[in-house]
Structure 1
Amino acid sequence: MTLFVSSQLIACGICLFAGFYSLLARSAGQRDPMVLAFGNLCLLLAAYLLLTASIAQTNSLNLACSLVRWQVAIACLIFPAATWFIGHYAQLQRRRPWLGVACAIFGGLFFVNLFSPSSVIYSAIAKGAPIVLPWGETVSNFVGQKSSLFGVYYLARDAAYLWAIGCCIALWRRNSTRARPLTLYLLIQAVAAIHGEVISRAELRSVSYESLIFLALVVLMGDQLRRELQHRATLLTRNLDELRSETLRREQVESNLRHLAYHDTVTGLPNRLAVREHVQTALMAKNPAGSALIMLDLDHFRTINEALGHDVGDKLLKAVATRLVSAVPSGSLVARPGGDEFALHLKLPVGLAPAGAALDIAGDLTKQLTAPFRIGAHDLAIGVSGGIALLPGMAGDVDSALRQVAMALHKAKATGRNRTIVFEQAMQAQADRRLLLEKGLRLALERDEFELHYQPQIDASGQFVAAEALLRWCHPIEGMISPEEFIPIAEEAGLIHAIGRYVMQRACVEREGWPTAHATARVSINVSPWQLFAQDFVTSLQEIVNATRTLPRQVTIEITESALLHDLDDLTRKIDELANCGFHFALDDFGSGYASLGHLKKLPLHELKIDRAFIENLQAGVTDPFVNAIITIAHEQKLLVVAEGVETEPQRVALVEMGCDAAQGHLISQPLRADSFCHWLEQQPARQVLANG
């Protein structure tokens, strides 16, 4: 085997290796179309080089004819493959049309070469004298007669070469790094083509090295692709590193967000969401151990925020959290659901009554929290109210447990604060009824379920002087509901303003239906403190009396002592303004609340109503010093005195003996519906309403 043939076979092996390597190579887990095209081209070049080496080695003319025909066939396949590869290599946008043209031209030549009597290039082949290489070796030499398609083949070959030059120019214009290897190959190919053309035209006895030039294409293009693949691998590694860093950063952010979502920002304790999950997990256990959910509320914490600022308040919350964490047993949950509330979930000792054990634990915690806190320059002492729900107890789920502990805490705050109460089933019934009443109240006005009953007031001589309008609610399911039950709910739900306007308007309208003999009598209407402190109370009341054509002097507004706890100056201003319009004002339930003698002197009142608690023990002929003092002081202030809750004749006689101006109670009449009250009035003799002192 000659050195020339060996070089051809070595080049064939290199192309074969490059071809299979390219076909198996992947970029970022995917096969690159350009690398696939290069792999196919390399395999075809390997086949071409193998046939070239075989022709140079054989001495058989018949075998040489077959080998030449197959060599030309492979060449016809090489050009479409090269077009496919260079189109991808040059990043042509419209490479498919060029590939179609190449396949059409060289595909036609391929089939003609296979099925015609002679090949596309030679019509006949003859064996010539061996060619002696410069280093003394000889190779077989075969010469052929040009066929009719010889010019077509070489014209197509030259056109493909010129197209490749155009692609190279396009790469240079884009300043692509791919331009240099392609330019170098095209220059080498051009030199080899010129060398082959010189040998052919001069009929020199020398071998052509055009086939070996294909090795330059494989080496140059392969090196370029290798560097690009390495660059892609580097970018991929960098991107993977960045992705890992981003993933770690995102996990850290998610961890921080989860911590923020499940923890309180002030104290760092778990928040309401964390409490829900913790309690839910405890309830879902197969055999849940006895435990307690405790909710602690700092009494009047808002006062600290308002007086000393939120910074001091936040520091106090942190100090409370620290004490709680250090005081509870290990494994217990300490959380801050929000505001001034702290939640604890802890296991109860085995063998003790659950309620008693929970109260003992809550008592110890409360004792520690009520010890003074040193916050900056302030020594702060706080009260603590608590609610307890025993688990699993009657709580089937986490929502039930949270409702139960909230109801127990509300009960503790409503019954004086600074105490702890364990949830009982009766609280749930109360809460259910409260919800029922609140929902009903929102519809009661629309359904006209309210009605007014009137209870008359008589003077010492037994004659009618006035009547108090008392609101009643006739619930379609629950029946008659007492105002003592639904009025506080209406006040808390914000419905008292609409209900109060309804009562005022209805009382004025129904008062106009009283008999003419009592046309000057006044109707007393109770007003909630929430109504009094509404900004539009004065204008609203004036609009109602104007719309119903009621004289203000025929209306008495009854206020309770609890109204005096609020803005007394604002209350005084409104009473003055309405009193100047003619309205009368009465202080209701005097002696049961917070009124003082100073209030009597400051407020422009007209009447004083003694609470029924001071009336029930009165006896005829016996002067009660306290009631007598109230009547005396009221008369000194030129106020009319009305006694409420007069149930017996001895009570009425005792009041008359002490100088009480009027009495109201079941002794005179129980509260009556409007029509029944009008019928009662018709039986009473006419008399003017008591005049102011």
Structure 2
Amino acid sequence: MKVKLIDSKLLTIGIIFLGILLAMTITSVAQTNKNNIMSISDMQADYVTQQLVGDLHLLESIVTEISQDENLIYALQKINEQGLNDENEIKLRNSVDNFLTITTSMDLVNQITISSVPHKLLFANNEFSENYNVYDMLWFDEDMEYLETATTTRVHRQWQSTKQVVSVVKFMIDDNTNEVIGAVILEVLVEDIINSLKNYYTMADVDIFIEHKGNTAYSNGTTYLTPEGIFTSTARPSYESIYANKNVSMVHYDIIDTGITCIMIVDLDSLAKSQHVISLNTYISKSTLSYLLGIIILVVCIIGSILMAIVPAIIGIDNIIQEIDEDYEGKNIGIDQINLKTKFVEDKLPSKLEYLMYYDELTGLVNRKMLRTIYRSFVGQDEPFVVVLLDIKNFKSINDTLGNAMGDRVLIDIALRLNMAILSTKKEGMVVRCSGDEFMIMLHHGDMDIEEWYNKKIVPLFLEPLVYLDTKPILVEFNAAAIVAPQHSNSEADLLNKIYIMIRRAKVLNTTSLVMFNNDIYSKYVESERIKNYLKIAIDSEEFVLNYQPIVDGNKKVQKAEALIRWFSKDLGFVPPDKFISIAEQTGLIINLGNWIIERVAKDLRSMLDTGRQVQVSINISAIQIMEKDFVETVKKILARHNIEYKYVCFEITESILLQEINTVKDNIKQLRELGIQFALDDFGTGYSSFSYLKEYSLDIIKIDKMFVDNLTEKDYAIIKGIKNISDALEMHMVIEGVETAEQFDRLKPFGLIQGYYFSRPIVWAEFEKMVE
């Protein structure tokens, strides 16, 4: 099938897109350049104004410093006291001369003026003038007199001159009389301020206007107005009309608190010709065009990738259509025809997917996803129904030895035969394929005997092996379990949980018979699972305790003790050892639990040995523990940690451990006995009771099980006596368990040590310590 990737529509859309993108880029670059020029204009104007403000602040600092000069203050005080004479004049001149070197180096300073306020004298330009009354000056303000620092005045006409100036003034106060004795006045020409601003603004042509209180304007050497000298207007100029046809930027700045405003009219055309601005705009234009080119390349690549991805998609859609409709014939199509294909798939695919989702493609049976719907259907009919789960025994070996294809043929035949069984029952039923080797049958129960139905309808179908021409006959057998709903289950999840527990039971029994749901078995399983879950945290939660059952001699003197673990669960209450020890062995938790027991016994023994009392404690050891390769090292570390001699420890093992004849077990027993730890064979007589094991392993103690003691017939007594003779011959001691009466004690004490409720139940360590002398 050929696929046409590009057509006229896509090409037209691409060209339009690129044209729009190019137009947007050109517009963006132009606007960015314009914004850059405006930003640079504002930044330069801000810089220029800040420089002026800094200069004025500096002048205020200088004037404040001059006003605090002790020599100047002293000269003015003398002039005010004695009048102006040669001596006082010299002192004043010398004081002013000290500051001339500073002020003459500053562009803005026109002159330093010193005024003797009481005598209305003015010293300026190295000359004295009379009748200078500061209180009559236009710049004077009453708030100036007692300010601690110099202040800048508003624009005013210079005394005895037509020049416009701004004065920096600081009055001088007599510390003794608190009266004004003089003033330091530093005058700055407005013209110099304007020229200073123009000198600072270096990047473009600029017109500077100084406005005073918004109604008087001064300008000098402007770009668009070229008067001689300073330009003065008593009314605020109309800047908008003056610069109506000019490409300018107008910036206003208020200077300090003088009522003075600086207006800068920046020629943007000249700014645009600045080398800095040209470089910046060139960089931005190149970068933007580079980004544009990159975007175009990226878009082309993306479109190309999408178009390339569409090809397999189209082929895939055609393949799906062929799967849905076998009569479909593919043909060459274009990109614009994809919609037609997808519409066809949308119409036909749901029904196909529904079949694939809820039916097993191999056998045609409904699958497990359909199980919930079937379950609800049966429940909705408000009558009992039975669910039978069939698990094919050893199905994996069929796949492994004969191949998956043969395994599929077996599954198909099983499905056909199970359907035949349902049809012959004449009751509403359904066969479900649950998983690879599991089938489930749901059938109305009525008064039907399920086990009888299974034996008559299912079992006969598989009595004979399945025969195929190209392989040997295959015998099919099932592990099978059944449950009646809703009698034994209240939900789908509950039903599945219970029937899978029963199928595990069938596997444990290794039976091909139908295992019916049994609530006792289920309850034991649930209890076992709860014990398994809580057992994982029981050690860390400190829920285990040890009890010790004394072992005494014929004089009822304590010789030994057996450590017996007890579990008091916070959630389950008291859990007997016979319920949790086997689970601990199955899960491997017995390793940590066994180590905890040895650790606990070692701690208790240490406390008794420190008081000078000696006793041996027996510890029950699991087969799982003693099969561990590092068991010996673990025991040595624990006992060493508590400084326990090996002779105070005895490990009790059962005959089942010896029967396995595992080399690791033999080596561990040998190493531990060589260290000095004794071994006792527990529950002797309940298993194979092979004396050959006693000889081979050279154990130290035989413990006679209480089954020989409970009734203590003459036959039992003879057996115990015979075992005693053998244990003596093997140089083994004997402990008789389960002694509960005085009669049993008296008859059995000649044979060895006694353990049982007659002398004491298992007790806590504190009570046991009291029994030991």
Give the TM bin, normalised by the shorter chain: 0.5 to 0.7
Instruction: Pick the aligned partner of 1:669 from 741, 745, 760.
Output: 760
Report the residue type matching 2:623 in the other structure: P
Tell me which residue corresponds to 2:607.
Answer: 513
Tell me which residue corresponds to 1:143.
Answer: none
1:469 aligns to 2:559 (yes or no): no
Alpha-carbon separation, structure 1, partners of 2:462 and 2:454: 12
Tell me which residue corresponds to 1:19.
Answer: none
1:489 aligns to 2:587 (yes or no): no
Tell me which residue corresponds to 1:332.
Answer: 430
**In structure 2, do the counterparts of structure 1 residues 523 and 297 end up closer, same or farther at CA, with 3 Å as the change threshold?**
farther
Alpha-carbon separation, structure 1, partners of 2:498 and 2:603: 45
Instruction: Pick the aligned partner of 2:370 from 265, 277, 296.
Output: 277
Instruction: Note the C-alpha offset of 1:363.
Output: 7.9
Instruction: Note the C-alpha offset of 1:670.
Output: 0.7
In the TM superposition, what whole-angstrom CA distance separates every residue of 1:433-467 from its partner, at most 9, and x where no partner exists? 33433333233222211110011112345432211
The answer on whether the counterparts of 1:269 and 1:336 sit within 8 Å (CA) in structure 2 is no
Alpha-carbon separation, structure 1, partners of 2:534 and 2:591: 16
The answer on whether the counterparts of 1:515 and 1:678 sit within 8 Å (CA) in structure 2 is no
1:311 aligns to 2:401 (yes or no): yes
Instruction: Note the C-alpha offset of 1:257.
Output: 7.8
Tell me which residue corresponds to 1:167.
Answer: none
**In structure 2, do the counterparts of structure 1 residues 555 and 395 end up closer, same or farther at CA, with 3 Å as the change threshold?**
same
Q: Report percent identity of matched pairs.
A: 22
Secondary structure of 2:367's counterpart equals helix
Instruction: Note the C-alpha offset of 1:623.
Output: 5.5
| Contiguous gaps of at least 5 residues in structure 2 | 28-331, 424-428
**In structure 2, do the counterparts of structure 1 residues 647 and 35 end up closer, same or farther at CA, with 3 Å as the change threshold?**
closer
The answer on whether the counterparts of 1:526 and 1:559 sit within 8 Å (CA) in structure 2 is yes
Instruction: Note the C-alpha offset of 1:639.
Output: 2.5
The answer on whether the counterparts of 1:291 and 1:347 sit within 8 Å (CA) in structure 2 is yes
**In structure 2, do the counterparts of structure 1 residues 332 and 236 end up closer, same or farther at CA, with 3 Å as the change threshold?**
same
The answer on whether the counterparts of 2:371 and 2:432 sit within 8 Å (CA) in structure 1 is no
1:636 aligns to 2:729 (yes or no): yes
**In structure 2, do the counterparts of structure 1 residues 244 and 320 end up closer, same or farther at CA, with 3 Å as the change threshold?**
closer
Instruction: Pick the aligned partner of 2:552 from 453, 458, 462.
Output: 458
Alpha-carbon separation, structure 2, partners of 1:32 and 1:616: 101
Tell me which residue corresponds to 1:647.
Answer: 740
The answer on whether the counterparts of 1:290 and 1:347 sit within 8 Å (CA) in structure 2 is no
The answer on whether the counterparts of 1:640 and 1:661 sit within 8 Å (CA) in structure 2 is yes
Tell me which residue corresponds to 2:516.
Answer: 422
Secondary structure of 2:772's counterpart equals helix
In the TM superposition, what whole-angstrom CA distance separates every residue of 1:481-527 from its partner, at most 9, and x where no partner exists? 21111222222333222211111100111122336798443211112
Report the residue type matching 2:650 in the other structure: T
Report the residue type matching 1:634 in the other structure: S
**In structure 2, do the counterparts of structure 1 residues 343 and 456 end up closer, same or farther at CA, with 3 Å as the change threshold?**
farther
In the TM superposition, what whole-angstrom CA distance separates every residue of 1:132-168 from its partner, at most 9, and x where no partner exists? xxxxxxxxxxxxxxxxxxxxxxxxxxxxxxxxxxxxx
The answer on whether the counterparts of 2:479 and 2:510 sit within 8 Å (CA) in structure 1 is no
Alpha-carbon separation, structure 1, partners of 2:334 and 2:445: 62
TM-score by length of 1: 0.55
Report the residue type matching 2:764 in the other structure: R
Number of paired residues? 453
Secondary structure of 2:608's counterpart equals coil
Tell me which residue corresponds to 2:500.
Answer: 406
Matches within 5 A, 1:584-663: 584-594=678-688, 596-619=690-713, 624-656=717-749, 660-663=751-754
Report the residue type matching 1:649 in the other structure: A
Instruction: Note the C-alpha offset of 1:323.
Output: 4.8
Instruction: Note the C-alpha offset of 1:671.
Output: 0.5
Alpha-carbon separation, structure 2, partners of 1:540 and 1:373: 56
- Identify the range of structure 1 (553-562 vs 542-551) with the bigger mean alpha-carbon deviation: 553-562
Secondary structure of 1:666's counterpart equals coil
Alpha-carbon separation, structure 1, partners of 2:725 and 2:338: 95
In the TM superposition, what whole-angstrom CA distance separates every residue of 1:602-652 from its partner, at most 9, and x where no partner exists? 324222222222221214x66544444443443333322222212223333
Alpha-carbon separation, structure 1, partners of 2:382 and 2:655: 51
Alpha-carbon separation, structure 2, partners of 1:377 and 1:656: 70
Tell me which residue corresponds to 2:440.
Answer: 344
The answer on whether the counterparts of 1:280 and 1:398 sit within 8 Å (CA) in structure 2 is no
Aligned residues: CA RMSD:
4.8
Alpha-carbon separation, structure 2, partners of 1:377 and 1:522: 67
Tell me which residue corresponds to 1:552.
Answer: 646
Instruction: Note the C-alpha offset of 1:258.
Output: 5.0
**In structure 2, do the counterparts of structure 1 residues 599 and 90 end up closer, same or farther at CA, with 3 Å as the change threshold?**
closer
The answer on whether the counterparts of 1:369 and 1:384 sit within 8 Å (CA) in structure 2 is no
Alpha-carbon separation, structure 2, partners of 1:90 and 1:672: 92
Alpha-carbon separation, structure 2, partners of 1:320 and 1:31: 55
Instruction: Note the C-alpha offset of 1:389.
Output: 1.8
Report the residue type matching 1:494 in the other structure: G
